């Protein structure tokens, strides 16, 4: 059921995404954090610096991957994030958060 509070939240989200820069430029001096998640049908990640997003990545799971145990999906997500953001993580320490 769609309520007025939902409409208000969508309007706030539109305002936030359109008024401020959503992505921050990468700084090689600032520590980086890779945040990944593996819900049911997709895997995704976000590269962060000082709590601000640098880049996002998302992909659907293949039919075979959908049958993986959750722990394997989480590991697949970490590998996906490291491969996708290799230009940010290669050769430097990175904190990885599983959500």
Distance of alpha carbon 3 from alpha carbon 40, whole angstroms: 27
Residue pLDDT tens, the chain, 99 long: 888 999 999 998 888 777 767 788 899 889 999 999 999 899 999 999 998 889 989 999 999 999 999 999 999 999 999 999 999 888 887 788 776
- Lookup result for tokens 């890779």: 34
| Segment holding 30, helix H or strand E | none
Secondary structure letter of residue 5 according to DSSP: H
pTM of the complete model: 0.74
CB atoms within 10 A of CB 51: 7
């Amino acid at each position: 059921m769609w309520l007025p509070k939902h409409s208000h939240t969508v309007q706030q989200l539109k305002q936030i995404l359109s008024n401020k820069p959503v992505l921050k430029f990468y700084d090689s001096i600032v520590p980086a954090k890779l945040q990944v998640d593996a819900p049911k049908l997709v895997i995704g990640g976000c590269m962060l610096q000082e709590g601000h997003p640098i880049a996002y990545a998302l992909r659907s799971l293949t039919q075979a991957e959908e049958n993986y145990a959750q722990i394997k999906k989480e590991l697949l997500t970490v590998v996906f994030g490291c491969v996708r953001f290799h230009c940010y993580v290669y050769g430097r320490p990175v904190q990885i958060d599983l959500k």
